[in-house]
Amino acid sequence: MRVPGKGLNADAAPLRFRFDGQAYEGRAGDTLASALLANDVRLVGRSFKYHRPRGILTAGSEEPNALVTLGEGATQDPNIRATTQELYDGLAARSQNAWPTLRHDALAINDLFAPFLGAGFYYKTFMWPKSFWEKLYEPVIRRAAGLGALSGEANSDSYEKAFAHCDVLVIGAGPAGIMAALTAARSGLDVILAEEDSRMGGRLLAEVEEVDGQPGAVWTAARVDELRAMENVRLMPRTTVTGAYDQGTYAALERVGHHVAERTGPRECFWRIVAQRAILCAGALERPVAFPDNDRPGIMTAGAVRAYLNRWGVAPGQTLSIFANNDDAHRTALDFIEAGLEVAAVIDSRADAQPLGDYRVIAGGTVTGTTGRHGLQGIRVAHPGGEEHLRTDCLALSGGWNPTLHLTCHMNGRPRWDDDILSFVPSEAAVPGLTVAGAANGTFSTLACLEEGIAAAQAVARALGTRPARAEAPAAEDAPYRIAPLWHVPGKGRAWLDFQNDVTVKDVAQAAQENFRSVEHMKRYTTQGMAPDQGKNSNVAALAVLADATGRGIPETGTTTFRPPYVPVAIAAMGAGGQGQGFAPHRLMTSDAASRARGAPMVEVGLWHRPSYFPRSGEETWLESCNREVRMVRSTVGVCDVSTLGKIDIQGPDAGAFLDFVYCNTFSTLPEGRVRYGLMLREDGHVMDDGTTARLGPDHYLMTTTTTAAGQVMRHLTWVAQALRPDLDVRFASVTDQWAQFAVAGPKARELLNSVLDDPVSDAHWPFMSCGAVTVAGVPGRLFRISFSGEHAYELAVPARFGASLFGQLGAQAEAMGGGLYGLEALNVLRIEKGFLTHAEMHGRSTAFDLGFDRMVSRKKDCIGAAASRREGLRDPEREQLVGLKPVDPAGKITAGAHLFADSAEPVSPNGQGHVTSAYPSPTFGHDLGLGFLKGGRNRHGERVMMVDHLRDLRTLCEVCAPVFYDPEGERIRG
Amino acid sequence: MARLIETSPCAGLLPRTIGAVDLSEVEPAQITLIAPFKGQQAAVSDALDAALGLTFPAPNRATGQGARAVWSGAGQALLIGSACPALPGAACIDQSDAWAIVRIEGADAARVLARLTPLDLRPEVFQQDHTARSVLGQMPVSLTRVGRHAYEVMVMRSMARTLVQELTRAAQGVADRIEPSI
């Protein structure tokens, strides 16, 4: 219920919202949690495993219980913490893990079987038969347990990634963070202040206390205004720093659009912030106490109760009781009384506890049980004088505060146990460049937090070589933090430690009993500390219980590793921009639009998009189009955009020597105006890539690579030039994108070419493997007489700006001559018919010897891979060697990827003789053709082998032959 | 007889204005990659100075106004916007058609680029005529600051469409934010 006059948003505008279909009213500035409590909604969810009724436990991102789903369909967003979800008009949230309704949940029956479902139950029970786990047990268990669900549809929402840079990143905008940011900014440093909450101020917004004589929230607002006005400060509210990484890089999640009804921009932004220094001022998290049935709606941390009352003007109950082991929690009673509300008692486990005001203290008392299934109704209290029942509908718990030191553990830093505050504190220099100040450092009074913030910023300024600004902490609360150990209260009934994973004291004790005594083993056996909240509420208490069960101290027991992210991060945010077409950049040829306009289906080759064929009317399958295009090239002329092949311009006095070193064959002797096929080896003697290289001038070459290996070859050349042969004076650069290059192939190739060239070419001046400059309509271009089809062919290159235009004209002219455009499918058929290779054959395991190119590895010079290629094992005549394959029955199918066996052998791996690398139906021969590797294949031409494709259930008897099927003498290519 | 028509890399895609940024295509008549041979960089720089009044740039820097020389990697620079003078001491490679260049200008230019590149673009760090090879989204780029709120981004010509799409999406995200963008 609302408390009149209380709360920082007391006068804010009313907002309507729905929870599980029911309409309610809240206020601007509310979270969903505060608005629900204002409407006396206490039951908000069902627990993970036992479907226990649960309410709101905290007021921050550590919330384990109050997880809800927002949105419908593709934008459904599960596991939203009601405690951080800001209210907006029209918000509609649903509870999770309950059916048919939150109040009457059928699977609450699990709770009755709790004695059987403890830690290790699944491991012990669902072991036999083994195959049942995946098919039956796991799906059933997963359906019964769990929290919110994804929609199953592709996420239609927009997310964003971004980078930011600063001198100092201040993480958290409580008293320490604000003073750190102010001091750093006044020292002239570039500051980013990231705060998880929508409003800056931290606990100063949740407590009744003064800073510099002003209410904490007022003082905070003035400091934030000052920061906002400074040019060297960037305020990042709603931004949770989720991880600390190498070299001062921090990940952060900004909730950009979760707090508005009509959103236009991204939902979330995933930041990578690079900071020279960082100051962690993330505060502390209050831990609950474990006692029987401590999980009822209405039981929450004491700090959260104060936050709801003081920040949002909401009393989470009519009659408050408090169970604590420290002085700090007593403030809750004072705040309630000051607000005119009723306090039943403060049950303080310390025998010497004294009231700090006019309320009843039960010193040396403990809470030993609770009542009220859907909401707390009363508690049972044991104290030195006996036992009593108290009527209360809100129990505020405090077992002390745990510094929020998670980020300091992200690079393997181990926190240190501090006996004064009974918690872990960050160890020094756990993350390079990161210092910790305030409550995150185990410093709990407001004044000390302000002072530490200043000191940390001044130290950073000095470290960065700047004169630190002078600053003095304003007057503030400076009470000592008095605490005595209290981890759990023994008794009948389950005492919950980890609310998110339904882990009890008994589960942890049982883990220890079954010898999972290491804290890491206990975590995995019980699941304590896993899931979205990562043990934020339960870790220290669970360790204390484990320490107790194993007879060790807490420091010896140690803690599990906090890993990034600090709060759950949607994969959609981390992968922002990568959905669908954003997966990778698209490289488009200058002919792209024209190819698509003709209805050509595009295929991706590396990042490039290439047309697979150009369908004509009446053609119903790709094969019909492909066959026509092949016949067209063999009989008249075809045009194909080959701009995707890598082109590297190589210049310098040592260019020839450089090429001799990277290619296995010789290029320094290549005459100007000529082209040569080259084979490049890796250092290990296997083939890396092939291509043609043209000599354009005395010290000037143009290398071509395959489409897919262009980047790899460029990297290789750079490595060779810089690291292996720095003695050579050579320079090179990629010119792949500079030139649009078109293959013109077929008996009428020259005729077509001469229709666009300014000066016609003739066979006498342009023999096979020649190259040189030409002009097309006055535009300087380059012509190469090379062929990847086995036909009389050329490749014509013009600067890319003219590519689209030239492609259109070549295509139109070819069609007028009875030819036309051809795509990747036809290109592949043509090259297989001719026995030319691609990376299907140069698959990384083949050598020049295997491919039949052994003689290309020059013995007159050294080159990369030459020595290794001569190793005995790489010259074994029984190695798998390149062969051609044709079906004995012309109707037989050959498929790429199929394996080869002796005709009589059983088709199993040990009998494997090789495999098919490329195969296509050949319209030229009227049957399928294949290229493949076969053991000792060069000496087996004429033999028959059985091709077996287990995937397609295909067996074809094949004849082994030479890999060149078409025009083996090369008469057409020279003709 | 053929007649060839020019098409620019970003034809049909630009210009565009999104929120507080303008995206426009830059189309220099000529781009030449200049890579001085061994021991020739000083001589090449002098020759450039004599011919065009600009020097061979240091790493991560651009020189010249009008015609500019933009460092583009170890031992190389791109001469943009002028014919390349005779430089016997260098490999000179025509790249006039190899690049798509987009100018991004406006109050939110740095914020938009921060959605795509890890470069530190704070004005005191990445100043006028500073340049870098980096990534933008997943594309290799050359990025140069050409004004107070103006940058030029160069990608391989074949990636022009992806570049425009990435910049557009980032700019839209910045423009659509409800709160003042950060």
DSSP string, chain B: --------TTTTT--EEETTEEEEEE--S-EEEEEE-TT-HHHHHHHHHHHHS-PPPPTTBEE-SSSEEEEEETTEEEEESSPPPP-TTEEEEE-TTTEEEEEEESTTHHHHHHTT--S---TTTS-TTBEEEEEETTEEEEEEEEETTEEEEEEEGGGHHHHHHHHHHHHHHHHT-SSPP-
Cα A398 to Cα A325: distance, rounded to the nearest angstrom: 7
Q: Which of residues 165-204 of A touch B (CB under 8 A)?
A: 165, 190
pLDDT digits (tens, 9 = 90+) for A887-939: 999 999 999 999 999 999 999 999 999 999 999 999 999 999 999 999 999 99
Q: Do A801 and B120 touch (CB under 8 A)?
A: no
Which residue, A823, A773, A817, A816, is CA-closest to A798?
A: A773
Q: Do B98 and A779 touch (CB under 8 A)?
A: no
CA distance A226 to chain B (A): 17
Q: Quickly list H helices, A687-765.
A: 710-719, 749-754
Predicted confidence at residue A143, as pLDDT, reads: 67
Q: Do B162 and A585 touch (CB under 8 A)?
A: yes
CA B141 and chain centroid, separation? 8
Cα A510 to Cα A504: distance, rounded to the nearest angstrom: 10
Q: Sheet of A22-27: strands edge to edge?
A: A22-27, A14-19, A91-94, A67-70, A77-81
Cα A794 to Cα A785: distance, rounded to the nearest angstrom: 4
The reply to whether A574 touches chain B by the CB within 8 Å rule is no
CA A436 and chain centroid, separation? 28
> Looking at the predicted structure, is the pLDDT value of residue B181 above 80?
no
Please tell me what DSSP assigns to residue A454.
Answer: H
Q: Radius of gyration over alpha carbons of chain A, in Å?
A: 38
Task: Write the ipTM.
Answer: 0.97
> Looking at the predicted structure, is the pLDDT value of residue B31 above 60?
yes
> Looking at the predicted structure, is the pLDDT value of residue B182 above 60?
no
The reply to whether B33 touches chain A by the CB within 8 Å rule is yes
CA distance A645 to chain B (A): 13
pLDDT digits (tens, 9 = 90+) for A688-712: 999 999 999 999 999 999 999 999 9
What are B156's two structure tokens? 């391989």
Going along A441-593, which residue ranges are E strands?
496-498, 503-504
Measured torsion, CA atoms of residues A624, A630, A631, A632, in degrees rounded to the nearest 10? 100
Domains assigned to chain A: 159-284+403-464 (3.50.50.60), 298-399 (3.50.50.60), 487-557 (1.10.10), 587-644+738-830 (3.30.1360.120), 648-734 (3.30.70.1400), 877-974 (2.40.30.110)
Which residues 6+ apart lie within 8 Å of A554 measured at CB?
Answer: A417, A540, A543, A544, A547
Please tell me what DSSP assigns to residue A674.
Answer: B
Predicted confidence at residue A849, as pLDDT, reads: 96
Please answer whether residues A202 and A180 qualify as being in contact, where contact means their C-beta atoms are separated by less than 8 angstroms.
Answer: no
A-chain CB neighbours of B8 within 8 Å are: 801
Q: From the list A164, A755, A801, which residue is nearest B7 (CB)? A: A801
Cα A504 to Cα A118: distance, rounded to the nearest angstrom: 9
CA distance A807 to chain B (A): 10
Which residues 6+ apart lie within 8 Å of A175 measured at CB?
Answer: A202, A203, A204, A211, A438, A446, A449, A450, A453, A476
Q: Do B93 and A236 touch (CB under 8 A)?
A: no
Q: How many CB pairs below 8 Å do chains A and B form together?
A: 153
Which residue, A368, A373, A374, is CA-closest to A390?
A: A368
Cα A796 to Cα A801: distance, rounded to the nearest angstrom: 14
Predicted confidence at residue A145, as pLDDT, reads: 63
Low-confidence ranges of chain A (pLDDT < 70): 116, 121-128, 130, 133, 141-146
Cα A202 to Cα A176: distance, rounded to the nearest angstrom: 9
The Cα-based distances of A76 to A68, A154, A270, A408 in angstroms read 11, 10, 19, 33
Q: What rounded mean pLDDT belongs to chain B?
A: 95
* Nearest residue of B to residue A164, measured between CA atoms: B114
Predicted confidence at residue A123, as pLDDT, reads: 66
* Nearest residue of B to residue A162, measured between CA atoms: B115
The reply to whether B4 touches chain A by the CB within 8 Å rule is yes
B-chain CB neighbours of A265 within 8 Å are: 173-178
Cα A516 to Cα A514: distance, rounded to the nearest angstrom: 6
Q: Do B177 and A272 touch (CB under 8 A)?
A: no
Q: What angle do CA B144, B150, B156 make, to 5 degrees?
A: 45
Please answer whether residues A701 and A694 qualify as being in contact, where contact means their C-beta atoms are separated by less than 8 angstroms.
Answer: yes
CA distance B39 to chain A (A): 10
Write the single-letter amino acid at A277: R
Binned at pLDDT 50, 70 and 90, residue B177 comes out as: confident
Predicted confidence at residue A132, as pLDDT, reads: 72
A-chain CB neighbours of B138 within 8 Å are: 584-585
What are A329's two structure tokens? 């929690």
